[in-house]
Amino acid sequence: MAKMTMVDALNTALHEEMERDESVIVLGEDVAVDGGVFRVTEGLLEAYGEERVMDTPLAEAGIVGTSIGMAISGLRPVAEIQFSGFSYLAFQQLEAHAARMRWRSRGAYTVPMVLRTPYSGGVRALEHHSESREAYWAHTPGLKMVIPSTPRNARALLLSAIRDPDPVIFYEPKAVYRAFREEVPEEEETWPLGKARVVREGSDVTMISYGAMMRPTLEAADRLREEDGVEAEVIDILTISPLDHETFVESVKKTGRVVIVHEAPRSFGPGAEIVARLVEKAFWYMEAPVRRVTGYDVVIPLFAYEKVYLPSADRVLKATRETLATVA
Amino acid sequence: MPREVVDLPYQVEYLSILDEDGNLLDEDLEPDIPEERLLRLHRVMLQARRFDERMLQLQRQGRIGTFAPVKGQEAAQMGIVAPLRDTDWMVPSFREQAASLWRGQSMESFLLVYGGFYQGNEIPEGTRNLPVAVPVGTQPLHAVGLSYGIKHRGEDDLVVTFFGDGATSEGDFHEALNFAGVWKTPTIFVCQNNQWAISVPRAHQTNSKTLAQKALGQGVPALQVDGNDILAVYAAAEEAAERARAGEGPTMIECITYRLSMHTTADDPKRYREEEEVEKWQKREPLHRFQTYLKNKGLLSDDDIAKTEEEIKAEIQDAVDAAERRMKELEGEELSMFEHMYAEMPPYLKEQREELADELQAKEGTDG
């Protein structure tokens, strides 16, 4: 076991998989010589050479479009888009081709590629460097959308994403990159895509989140226990799409109350889909209206007001207390 | 003849007027710039350099956030905008501090934006500059649309757009040139080829010999200039502006320059480039060359420079003080994040604003 940051853990996964599988190719802007602007791809060029670790020209559609071709040819491209705010130049390639090649070719051609890209606010960045637009990708049939929340699950999910037979958008919470360390097992560990996890058991209320927002959510759960004697069950979604509703439906059947936390804008965000599934599958178990604690439906402000925009433990705590106080 | 060379209409010229030290290479090429404008150019160039240094210091002290330093590229920006009119438009990328200072943007506004306050993006009255565009290579298309509007109304203003060497790899860039060529718009495309797209050197960005020739492929004439020679940049811009105003369409100018500083303050160039290369370009940097030229012309003395330095230092200090005061004032204005999303705020957004207002009020109660 080694204590790692998320950057170290992701880097470990890339080294492990490039070592294990020669068809894995890493490409993107500044991923080779510079080792990635967040250093996630550090040391790959030295270890695997410039045929497998490529600094590309500055063109997001080019990176993704060529990755699709590579994937069809039998390679396993792990493409990096430097910030998710720049991934929209590649939107057409992902929506029109990566997501549909299997369908369009009747299963003959597949696109086993990963698009890694940092998302999330909270790092005092410039415009376009702080958004959370996971809903775009989760809304596209044919794409998988994964968001780890800790070093250990980041490593385990990235390994699974690279091995997955379908295209995976892998959002890395940059606010977590170096925020804390966690024990990551020496031996290879993979976590299945499409599976949420109960990270803390409880029977009073269900709190659902993912990515960078797991930290304020867990902090709120701690304070609920300490200050209110309330036991919250906390679920980490991990894969936004395909969404595992069984885990949270079972939990809500037990608790009857639910709070959903994400930093993406509220309207049409992942929380809306979670609520819809709860209404469809656990309606008669619900004891209070669902609460969403989210980013507002505005452009995320430049960093002076960023803290106020992002859901905080205080905001999560307040919403959860209100949910708990509701008597049907 | 079954197989012959096609005669293409354009070639790429390279223009330089000052040598590395700032002496005139060819007096016949010297543009006719009024004395008053030459001195103002010098003043703003010096201001841009010193302001850049001060911003870097403020960033290192944590008083502002990330920004993209302009050091070394002042001539490639100011030589372009200097011959233009106030009524012409400028469509920048994200490193155009020098051009923006020339075109009326305040130092305070930069400090606000890079201090994390979008209020710094308010457009000063009478200026025609679009805000910075961070996504690389996306904004030249806007310049083409703006210039189409000008042409459509029968006006003789023009639009200048700035982008870097990396941007020439983006599809949007090629689309912009192509549209401008087809529509014959009054657009000046300015590539500040500063040799590095973060860690990727120009030679790895594209296999083509020049970036200027990419415009030729779209039927748009283009030339290369010594981008650290303000006279060459000015002359090229003047010529492109004349063509644009005469209805002859777009031009691309590739300014050969160098990013002496980092890509942004979040970047460490020592990881990917040699110090000798930086030193080589340091010798060709634009400020001292322009100063030598002005001294040779008898327009500037060392005393003048020292005096100007003092004045600029005080102006920068005033701007920093004013910006920091303004930041303090703006600290409690978080609710402004709901403004300017739509012409009319939708009801659900009003609800969200109320939600945040209550939260802020409750917090104030607890903190107080």
Q: Are B161 and B140 in contact (CB under 8 A)?
A: yes
DSSP 8-state assignment for residue A300:
P
Of B259, B284, B289, B326, the catalytic one is B259
- Topology of B13-330 in CATH? Rossmann fold (3.40.50)
| Predicted confidence (pLDDT) per residue in B222-264, tens digit | 999 999 999 999 999 999 999 999 999 999 999 999 999 999 9
pLDDT(A15) > 60: yes
DSSP notation for B228-250: T-HHHHHHHHHHHHHHHHTT---
* Three-state secondary structure call for residue B284: coil
- Contacts for B5 with CB less than 8 Å, ≥ 6 apart: none
Q: What is the pLDDT of residue B8?
A: 85
**Mean pLDDT over residues A217-227, rounded?**
98
Instruction: Kindly report the average pLDDT of chain A as a whole number.
Output: 97
User: Structure tokens of B289?
Assistant: 């060359």
pLDDT(B366) > 80: no
- Contacts for B300 with CB less than 8 Å, ≥ 6 apart: B39, B42, B291, B294
Q: Are B55 and B95 in contact (CB under 8 A)?
A: no
pLDDT(A221) > 80: yes
| Predicted confidence (pLDDT) per residue in A20-71, tens digit | 999 999 999 999 999 999 999 999 999 999 999 999 999 999 999 999 999 9
Phi, psi (deg, nearest 5) at residue A138: -65, -25
Phi, psi (deg, nearest 5) at residue B160: -115, 135
pLDDT(B368) > 70: no
Q: Identify the helix (H) or strand (E) that includes residue A280.
A: helix A270-282
Q: What is the pLDDT of residue B274?
A: 96
What radius of gyration do chain A's Cα atoms show?
20
In DSSP terms, A205 is beta-bridged to A232
Q: How far apart are CA B101 and CA A264, in angstroms?
A: 36
Q: How far apart are CA B364 and CA A280, in angstroms?
A: 40
Percent of chain A with pLDDT over 70: 100
Q: Are B256 and B226 in contact (CB under 8 A)?
A: yes
* Whether A89 and B267 lie within 8 Å, measured CB to CB: no
Residues of A in contact with B117 (CB under 8 A): 302, 304
* Whether A89 and B348 lie within 8 Å, measured CB to CB: no
Instruction: Kindly report the average pLDDT of chain B as a whole number.
Output: 97
Which of B116, B197, B337 is opposite residue A124, by nearest beta carbon?
Answer: B116
A114 closest CA partner among A151, A157, A153: A157
pLDDT(B365) > 80: no
- Chain A nearest CA to B83, separation (Å): 31
Q: Identify the helix (H) or strand (E) that includes residue A4.
A: strand A2-4
Strands A144-146, A168-173: pairing kind: parallel
Q: How many CB atoms lie within 10 A of CB A92?
A: 14
Chain center to CA of B14? 21
Numbered residues of chain A with Cβ closer than 8 Å to any chain B Cβ: 29-30, 33-35, 37, 55, 57-62, 85-86, 88-89, 124-129, 266-267, 296-299, 301-306, 308-309, 314-315, 318
Q: What is the pLDDT of residue B367?
A: 65
Q: How far apart are CA A147 and CA A294, in angstroms?
A: 16
User: Structure tokens of B214?
Assistant: 């990419």
* Whether A297 and B170 lie within 8 Å, measured CB to CB: no
Of B85, B272, B325, B340, the catalytic one is B272
Q: Identify the helix (H) or strand (E) that includes residue A292.
A: strand A291-295
pLDDT(A186) > 60: yes
| Predicted confidence (pLDDT) per residue in A268-323, tens digit | 999 999 999 999 999 999 999 999 999 999 999 999 999 999 999 999 999 999 99
* Whether A304 and B360 lie within 8 Å, measured CB to CB: no
Q: What is the pLDDT of residue B344?
A: 97
User: Structure tokens of B367?
Assistant: 């903190």
A216 closest CA partner among A104, A289, A290, A318: A318
- Contacts for B268 with CB less than 8 Å, ≥ 6 apart: B262
- Contacts for A217 with CB less than 8 Å, ≥ 6 apart: A207, A209, A234, A261, A313, A316
Q: State the Cα angle at B262 between B144 and B276, rounded to 5°.
A: 115
Give the start-end residues of each E strand in B130-283: 159-164, 187-193, 196-197, 200-201, 222-226, 251-256
pLDDT(B349) > 60: yes
Q: Which residue of B has its CA nearest to A297?
A: B349
All structural domains of chain B with their residue ranges: 13-330, 334-367
Fill in the amino acid letter for A142.
G
DSSP 8-state assignment for residue B9:
S
Which of A57, A89, A297 is opposite residue B349, by nearest beta carbon?
Answer: A297
Q: Are B196 and B259 in contact (CB under 8 A)?
A: yes
Which of A37, A55, A266 is opposite residue B204, by nearest beta carbon?
Answer: A55
**Mean pLDDT over residues B136-146, rounded?**
98
- Chain B nearest CA to A32, separation (Å): 9
Q: How far apart are CA B314 and CA B49, in angstroms?
A: 14
**Mean pLDDT over residues B28-49, rounded?**
98
| Predicted confidence (pLDDT) per residue in A154-184, tens digit | 999 999 999 999 999 999 999 999 999 999 9
Q: How far apart are CA A242 and CA A195, in angstroms?
A: 9
Q: How far apart are CA B67 and CA B132, in angstroms?
A: 11
CA atoms within 13 A on the CB side of B67: 28
Residues of A in contact with B174 (CB under 8 A): none
pLDDT(B364) > 90: no
DSSP 8-state assignment for residue A226:
I
**Mean pLDDT over residues A135-164, rounded?**
98
| Predicted confidence (pLDDT) per residue in B287-308, tens digit | 999 999 999 999 999 999 999 9
ipTM: 0.95
Q: How far apart are CA B98 and CA B109, in angstroms?
A: 13
Q: How far apart are CA B227 and CA B366, in angstroms?
A: 57
Burial of A32 (0-12, 13-18, 19+ CB in 10 A): buried
Residues of A in contact with B206 (CB under 8 A): 57
pLDDT(A103) > 60: yes
Q: From the candidates A81, A305, A312, A318, which should be mutated to test the interface with B, based on the most B CB atoms within 10 A?
A: A305
Concerning whether A262 is annotated as a catalytic residue, the answer is no
* Whether A298 and B338 lie within 8 Å, measured CB to CB: yes
A13 closest CA partner among A174, A183, A155, A116: A155
* Three-state secondary structure call for residue A259: strand
Domains recognised in chain A with CATH numbers: 2-184 (3.40.50.970), 197-325 (3.40.50.920)
